[in-house]
Amino acid sequence: MEIDEFKEMFNKNVNASTVVNKNIMTMIYADSNSPLTALEKKLRITLYIFPVVTILFSGRFFFQEAKHHGPTSWLLFGILSLEFLVSLLNYMVTRSLRRAEGPVKQNLIAKLTLLQKRYKWYFAAHNCLILLIAVLLEITIHYHWDSNFEGWSHVNILLRIVVYIILFITQFIIKYRSQKDHYGQYIEKLQVLSGQMQ
């Protein structure tokens, strides 16, 4: 039998369908069960947490004397702000991924490009940040800016470097795995779909 002969049968069969959904408006205002919505919710929570933590942390700068504001405090403040920016960016990316308008091919390509860019950018930014922390820590130790690190400064420089490298590799593996779980599998899926379009 030719496929064209199925057309009528296929449409007739669909028209024979019975039960009709009556909950359209309830559905619209109910929470979606899609994984992207779940991710969006998680990220929204981090958006609420970081400003609160940052405000609490910044209290140190307003209520304490300037001489007590070590560079490490500023560094931590900077990291918190950066983490907040990353969360905001992730939230925006997730919202963009939920967009379902436009032709299927263009929609897929747009999502794939967005995820790939975000994946690369996030890794680069995060690794730079970790390196920056190590460098700033060494500068702080060298100029004795923060008495909290006096103990660390007595440790052999080579051992310190080894510790930095171990920490860097550990965080890299953890981040790589978590990113692969969150985004990597979607990138792979979109690449497969994109290939099917050709």
Partner 1 sequence: MRGFVTKFTSLYTHISKVKVSTNQLHNEFIKLIAEHERMIYKVCYLYVDDETDRQDLYQEIIIQVWNGYQKFRGEAKFSTWLYQVALNTAIAGFRRAKKPVVVYTDGSLPEIAEYTADNTQLEALNKAINLLNDIEKALIMLYLDNKTYEEMELIMGIPSGTLRVKMTRIKEKLKKITKTYSNGNR
- For partner 1, the binding residues (CB under 8 A) are 1-3, 6-7, 9-11, 13-21, 23-28, 30-37, 97-108, 111, 186, 189-190, 193, 196-197
Q: CB of residue 47 vs partner 1: minimum separation in angstroms? A: 20
Q: CB of residue 153 vs partner 1: minimum separation in angstroms? A: 48
* Nearer of residues 168 and 186 to partner 1, judged by Cβ: 186
Q: CB of residue 148 vs partner 1: minimum separation in angstroms? A: 44
Q: CB of residue 15 vs partner 1: minimum separation in angstroms? A: 7
* Nearer of residues 86 and 190 to partner 1, judged by Cβ: 190
Cα 101 to the center of its chain, rounded Å? 23
Rg of the chain on CA atoms, in Å: 26
* Nearer of residues 19 and 159 to partner 1, judged by Cβ: 19
Q: CB of residue 155 vs partner 1: minimum separation in angstroms? A: 46
Q: CB of residue 123 vs partner 1: minimum separation in angstroms? A: 20
* Nearer of residues 23 and 147 to partner 1, judged by Cβ: 23
Task: Report the candidate in 174, 192, 185 with the shortest Cα–Cα distance to residue 35.
Answer: 185
In whole angstroms, give the CA distance from residue 138 to residue 132: 10
Q: Backbone phi, then psi, for 147, in 5-degree steps? A: -70, -20
For the packed helices 35-63 and 71-97, what is the interaxial angle rounded to 10 degrees? 160
DSSP at 20: -
* Nearer of residues 27 and 163 to partner 1, judged by Cβ: 27
Task: Report the candidate in 160, 87, 155, 92 with the shortest Cα–Cα distance to residue 126.
Answer: 87
Task: Report the candidate in 132, 148, 130, 152 with the shortest Cα–Cα distance to residue 69.
Answer: 148
Look at the alpha carbons of 75, 78, 82, 88 in this order and tell me if their dihedral is positive or negative: positive
* Nearer of residues 110 and 134 to partner 1, judged by Cβ: 110
